[in-house]
């Protein structure tokens, strides 16, 4: 831009330098605004995109002993994803088995999202009406 402004000034258009300087100043302001906006979005706790919600629910659905999933809550803070959800499991399942299944689901979610903090609560299917698992 500087070379172009000098060239135009030498060709008889002396106002080219200030015009290019103003253009460059606006570009710098725009870039600074974009960087600031992205930084604020990164630092604010924001819900994860719908695609991530869908992927999390699909991971949960893939476990054969999970009867349903509800209360899926997500947020991001910096580079970390925070994922909370409730698994619907068989009413008569022993607590040890329910915990094992929750650990397996958590491991599957962490495989897909390594920088995640996952919190899973196990619910019996009769406690809350389960959401249907489409697919």
The secondary structure of the chain in percent helix, strand, coil, rounded to multiples of 5, reads 50, 20, 30
- Helix, strand counts (H, E) of the chain: 4, 3
Confidence of residue 129 (pLDDT cuts 50, 70, 90): low
Average pLDDT over residues 106-125: 95
Q: Give the CATH number of domain 50-124.
A: 3.30.70.1350
Average pLDDT score, the chain: 87
Tell me the CA distances in angstroms from 69 to 32, 66, 98, one per residue in order: 42, 8, 14
pTM of the model: 0.66
Statement: residue 123 has pLDDT above 60: yes
- Beta-carbon count within 10 A of 67 CB: 17
Average pLDDT over residues 52-71: 94
């Amino acid at each position: 831009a500087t070379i172009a402004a000098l060239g135009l000034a030498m060709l008889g258009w002396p106002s080219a330098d200030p015009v290019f300087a103003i253009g460059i100043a606006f570009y710098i302001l725009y870039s600074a605004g974009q960087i600031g906006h992205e930084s604020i979005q990164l630092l604010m706790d924001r819900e994860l995109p719908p695609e991530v919600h869908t992927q999390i629910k699909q991971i949960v659905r893939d476990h054969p002993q999970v009867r349903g999933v509800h209360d899926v809550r997500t947020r991001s803070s910096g580079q970390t994803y925070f994922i909370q959800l409730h698994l619907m499991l068989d009413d008569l399942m022993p607590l040890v088995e329910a915990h094992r299944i929750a650990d397996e689901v958590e491991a599957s979610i962490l495989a897909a999202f390594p920088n995640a903090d996952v919190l899973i609560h196990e619910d019996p299917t009769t406690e809350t009406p389960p959401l249907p698992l489409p697919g």
